[in-house]
Amino acid sequence: MTTLTKTSKKTRKQGMLDNVMRQFDNAADIIGLNPNIRKILEVTNNEFVVHFPVRMDNGEVEIFTGYRVQHNNALGPYKGGLRYHPTVDIDAAKALAMWMTWKTSLAGLPYGGAKGGIQLDPSNYSLAELERITRRFTYALGDNIGPELDIPAPDVNTNPQTMAWILDTYMSTKSPSERSTNMHVVTGKPIGAGGSEGRDRATGYGVFLNIKFWAEHKKVDLKDKKFIVQGFGNVGYWAAHFLEKEGAVMTAVQDAYGSIANEDGMSVEELMEYATANKGSVLGFADAVPIDKNDFFALNCDICIPSALGNQITAKNAPKIKAYLIAEGANGPTDVEAEEILLKKGIDILPDILCNSGGVIGSYFEWLQNRNGEIWQLDEVMAKLEKKMGESFKRVLETSQRRKADMRTAAFIIAIERLEEAYVQRGIFP
């Protein structure tokens, strides 16, 4: 097996950017990527940092810093989420934008990659403040986003409501005749505001499908298999929901507030109900006991689903992992050192750019419907999603077998080769 042993020649700050660059370097070396195309893909095309004032509920003005990084648009408009989190900075946005380019390329979508967000902890703000922050951020980004230029979507701590505010603000700055032609400036909208059926569950369903495809390939029966989930947001919840339907058992959950476990399993729906009524936190759920957050990844289980933030599985906790499958619902949850350890232990990893790509594929369906004035039914969306995820999974598996490489390396190879082909055919302007 080819593992990610190569370290970059340049010294880079530890973190997601370092990880994504090392993952890229590894695949680029294996395929002998054209050095000129490599130079292009190593850098981000545009980076916007905006500082903007917002009036708080108490009348004071606070200044916020927002980011939007557009990595590459060789295959189509920039695409990727906006996250609201204290860890958002320029390097995080660059790393996440790069992962979006590989993700959309791998999925065969007509998109490039972007990511952004605001450095804040949303739990410190009221809903009305979050609305004003979002609207002012959208206004500050101005025409640097657009339905055929750069299309944001939900990510960590943003949701359909956030997208509805962005849409409304963006449309309001256009002339009346143009307004309704801009519906596809964001995806992940509420159904009533131009959203698509199924987009809410698309990422988690995609994670589940990847686990199912993997299990079919390995001839593993998912019934009674124990899984643990880090992050009980949109991704973690829906992945757990579909796994539970398949007969698997959720034995532990970790969120920003704490970690809970029950070896005999807990109900996904009951936990969701509890968390919704408990300001989003799983802590205190009656059918589980709280555990030390540092013991979470070491828990006895079959499948581990990190679906929160980056750099969660590191050299420190990787040796203790008992799961034999890691399904990456989050972006960049496993760092390069941890991956080497896990692969040596024989643990399979379904890489983020494949495993969580259901979200952006769902976004693509929403964007297409808006653009064409169509409305698709839920079963239609889910069937199309399953077909696309199945094709991606198959291609990654075949490439990994042919190249004797791990799944991440295989996924990167497919993504980079598609971009290389586009550059070779088109050449470089002028």
Instruction: Determine whether 322 is an active site residue.
Output: no
Does residue 360 interact with ligand GLU by CB under 6 A? Answer: yes
- Of 129, 155, 244, 337, the residue at the interface with ligand GLU (CB under 6 A) is 155
Does residue 81 interact with ligand GLU by CB under 6 A? Answer: yes
Beta strands in 103-239 (DSSP E): 113-118, 150-154, 226-230
Does residue 392 interact with ligand GLU by CB under 6 A? Answer: no
Does residue 70 interact with ligand GLU by CB under 6 A? Answer: no
Q: Which of 79, 115, 189, 212 is catalytic?
A: 115
Does residue 253 interact with ligand GLU by CB under 6 A? Answer: no
- In the bound complex, which residue of the shown chain has the CB atom lying closest to ligand GLU? 81
Q: Could you tell me how far CA 191 lies from the centroid of its own chain? A: 21
Size of the site for ligand GLU (CB under 6 A): 12
Does residue 236 interact with ligand GLU by CB under 6 A? Answer: no
Amino acid type, 192: G
Q: Could you tell me how far CA 248 lies from the centroid of its own chain? A: 23
Alpha helices (H) in 226-374, listed in sequence order: 234-245, 268-277, 336-344, 352-355, 358-372
Does residue 182 interact with ligand GLU by CB under 6 A? Answer: no
Adjacent-strand bridge partners of 250: 227, 266
Distance CA 14, CA 310 (A): 12
Q: In what order do the strands lie in the sheet with 46-55?
A: 46-55, 61-72, 113-118, 78-84, 150-154
CB neighbourhood size of 63 (10 A)? 8
Does residue 134 interact with ligand GLU by CB under 6 A? Answer: no
Per-residue binding letters, 306-335, with ligand GLU (x by CB under 6 A): -------------------------x----
Minimum distance from residue 351 beta carbon to ligand GLU (Å): 13
Give 74-119 as a DSSP string. Answer: SSSSEEEEEEE-TT--HHHHHHHHHHHHHHHHHTT-S--EEEEEE-
Provide the total of helices (H) and of strands (E) in the chain, helices listed first.
14, 12
Minimum distance from residue 307 beta carbon to ligand GLU (Å): 11
Mapped onto helix, strand or coil, the DSSP state of residue 57 is coil
Distance CA 361, CA 390 (A): 12
* Smaller CB separation from ligand GLU, 113 or 262: 113
* Smaller CB separation from ligand GLU, 81 or 254: 81
- Of 134, 138, 157, 187, the residue at the interface with ligand GLU (CB under 6 A) is 187
DSSP-derived secondary structure letter, 308: S
* Smaller CB separation from ligand GLU, 33 or 240: 240
Token pair listed for 406: 């791990």
Per-residue binding letters, 259-288, with ligand GLU (x by CB under 6 A): ------------------------------
Distance CA 275, CA 316 (A): 29
- Of 27, 130, 145, 153, the residue at the interface with ligand GLU (CB under 6 A) is 153
Distance CA 157, CA 82 (A): 9
Does residue 80 interact with ligand GLU by CB under 6 A? Answer: yes
Stretch that binds ligand GLU, among 84-92, 137-145, 298-306, 356-364 (CB under 6 A): 356-364
> Which are the catalytic amino acids?
115
Binding interface with ligand GLU (CB under 6 A): 79-81, 103, 153, 155, 187, 331, 356, 359-360, 363
